[in-house]
């Protein structure tokens, strides 16, 4: 018989990843509008398909790893690392070289993302109080994409974002221990001890 009979809610690390992507879509679209930019933006969550050369500007938010600490029976804190990957491309024109165009575009949008994710307005990533213990941009790495040998001048950068997330679970209603009745037992096999149903 299953012992967890409540619906397990969405976990903090998953909710926070969705919030980061939503905030970036909202705020980057706003910057495109108020600055009269013409870039075609796509924001994705946990995208695994590679950036396509037909795309203009792509932002992908992904959860990289979680280290838990400060454990109690009810909760723990997770230092969760997210990657915000920003891809952009440009073309050679009479007025601007393709490599400078892609550099300018990438730096502009990486700067936007860093500003948005560092802004005090989003210190709880729009989750209210209690879930987030801190949001920190801890690094930015640029890739020149040296293997790209065609005329699309693709560049990318990775923003590393560290978020302190409180993960909770319901406390168990304590029942009096009256026996050791179980539906599962260990069975010795030639491959080791295997769990089987006690029938």
Domains and CATH numbers, the chain: 12-169 (3.30.70.1700)
Question: Please, what is the Cα angle at 136 between 134 and 142, to 5 degrees?
Answer: 160
Alpha carbon separation from 175 to 70, 108, 178, 186 (Å, rounded): 26, 59, 9, 25
- Strand, coil or helix: 98: helix
C-beta separation of 137 from 105 below 8 A: no
Cα separation of 87 and 102, whole Å? 9
Q: pLDDT at position 144, please? A: 61
C-beta separation of 96 from 129 below 8 A: no
Write out the chain's pLDDT in tens, 199 residues: 888 888 888 888 999 999 999 999 999 999 999 999 999 999 999 999 988 888 899 999 999 998 888 777 666 778 999 999 999 887 777 777 767 778 889 999 999 999 999 999 999 998 888 889 899 999 999 986 555 555 678 889 999 999 998 876 665 655 555 555 667 666 777 777 777 777 6
Around Cβ 158, how many Cβ atoms within 10 Å? 17
C-beta separation of 140 from 160 below 8 A: yes
Torsion angle of alpha carbons 3, 76, 78, 67, nearest 10°? -80
Q: What is the CA radius of gyration of the chain?
A: 24
Cα separation of 120 and 125, whole Å? 9
Q: Residue 96 is encoded by which pair of tokens?
A: 């601007």
């Amino acid at each position: 018989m299953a012992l967890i009979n409540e619906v397990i809610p969405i976990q903090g690390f998953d909710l926070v990843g969705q919030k980061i992507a939503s905030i970036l879509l909202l705020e980057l679209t706003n910057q495109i509008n108020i600055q009269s930019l013409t870039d075609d933006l796509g924001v994705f969550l946990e995208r695994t398909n590679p950036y396509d050369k037909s795309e203009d500007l792509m932002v992908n938010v992904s959860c990289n790893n979680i280290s838990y600490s400060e454990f109690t029976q009810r909760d723990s804190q997770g230092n969760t690392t997210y990657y915000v990957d920003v891809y952009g491309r440009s073309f050679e024109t009479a007025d601007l070289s393709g490599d400078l165009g892609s550099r300018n575009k990438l730096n502009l949008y990486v700067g936007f993302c860093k500003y948005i994710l560092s802004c005090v307005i989003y210190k709880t990533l729009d989750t209210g109080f209690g879930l987030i213990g801190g949001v920190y941009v801890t690094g930015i790495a640029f890739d020149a994409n040296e293997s790209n040998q065609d005329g699309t001048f693709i560049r990318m950068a990775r923003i590393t974002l560290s978020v302190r997330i409180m993960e909770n679970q319901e406390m168990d209603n304590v029942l009096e221990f009256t026996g050791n009745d179980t539906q599962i037992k260990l069975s010795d096999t030639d491959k080791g001890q295997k769990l089987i149903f006690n029938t």
